[in-house]
Amino acid sequence: MCGRIYIKSTLGDLLRNFSFAATERVEGLANQFPRYNGAPSLFYPLVIRDVIRDPDVFGPTFVSARWGLIPAWIREQKPGRPPPVNARCEGISANGMFKKAYASRRCLIPIDGFFEWRDIFGTGKNKQPYAIAMKSGEPFALAGIWEKWRNPETGEDIRTFCVITCSPNEMMATIHDRMPVILNRDDYERWLSPESDPFDLMKPFPAELMTMWPIDRKVGSPRNDTADILDPLEPAE
């Protein structure tokens, strides 16, 4: 799964790295980045193309969205049941929760890296966190889907999203059995296109282009949101 990400870039730097997308819709997020320990339920910048539901969007555009997908047909959120933050690529085109968004509302989720936990002894009680990024140090994009949900209490339209996951590459398989779908830049246009099922894009990203390192367990609390979250853990003596 993918339940925590980091964006060490400023919002302006992130937008410049994805300069093919218009940026006028995310100005309200400027004071929220860098974010070194990004959790679900917070708002993030996405790149979408939504000419059907949003005729003002003629090309790729940055928008703000909350992590945790709520389909438009959901009438109300049930207490104690948080919205899904991940969607498995296997069967996504037939899953009632995700299929409509996958067919017509796919998005790019620009980040600098993400976190995953290795279950050291297989007990679920002693997990070592890792930071994962590109070897180049450049920002990259996860594959996602999004929805627009109307809060019945306030009448507010809220855009939400989740991250698509796939089987792990050789590097990720050493710590976990899933990884987020990472898209090649050459595939951004196709992922955002009207094509209904670009299934072949949802595959493990080449391990040789990625890197990971163990970090301190303080990343487990989203309240710890400082740059030293990413410091490599000193090897045990």
In eight-state DSSP terms, residue 49 is -
Question: Given a cut of 80, is residue 156 above it in pLDDT?
Answer: yes
What mean pLDDT do residues 5-17 have? 93
Q: pLDDT higher for 120 or 6?
A: 6
What integer pLDDT is reported at residue 88 of this predicted model? 98
Identify the bridge partners of residue 48 per DSSP, sorted by sequence position: 61
What mean pLDDT do residues 103-112 have? 97
**107 given a catalytic annotation:** no
Rounded Cα distance between 221 and 182, Å, is: 25
Question: Given a cut of 70, is residue 98 above it in pLDDT?
Answer: yes
Rounded Cα distance between 160 and 155, Å, is: 15
Rounded Cα distance between 140 and 211, Å, is: 13
Catalytic residue among 2, 89, 107, 166: 2
What mean pLDDT do residues 182-199 have? 96
Q: Classify strands 127-134 and 179-180 as parallel, antiparallel or unpaired.
A: unpaired
Question: Given a cut of 60, is residue 57 above it in pLDDT?
Answer: no
Residue 150 CA, chain-centre distance (Å), reads: 22
Q: Classify strands 86-88 and 157-166 as parallel, antiparallel or unpaired.
A: parallel
Catalytic residue among 89, 107, 116, 147: 116
Query: Domains plus CATH for the chain?
Result: 5-230 (3.90.1680.10)
What integer pLDDT is reported at residue 126 of this predicted model? 84
Please tell me whether residue 183 adopts helix, strand or coil conformation. Answer: strand
* 8 A C-beta contact, residue 206 and residue 172: no
Q: What is the largest CA-CA distance in the chain?
A: 60
Helix (H) or strand (E) holding 14: helix 11-17
Rounded Cα distance between 226 and 235, Å, is: 21
Question: Given a cut of 90, is residue 58 above it in pLDDT?
Answer: no
pLDDT grade, residue 237 (50/70/90)? Answer: very low
**90 given a catalytic annotation:** no
Angstrom distances, CA of residue 124 to CA of 82, 120, 196, 225: 21, 8, 38, 24
What integer pLDDT is reported at residue 79 of this predicted model? 73
What tens digit of pLDDT does each residue of 17-38 get?
Answer: 998 888 877 867 888 999 999 9
For residue 208, the one-letter residue type is: E
What tens digit of pLDDT does each residue of 213-224 get?
Answer: 999 999 999 999
- In angstroms, the first-to-last Cα distance of the chain is 31
* 8 A C-beta contact, residue 118 and residue 28: no
Rounded Cα distance between 41 and 195, Å, is: 29
Quick one: CA dihedral 36, 107, 186, 200, positive or negative? Answer: positive
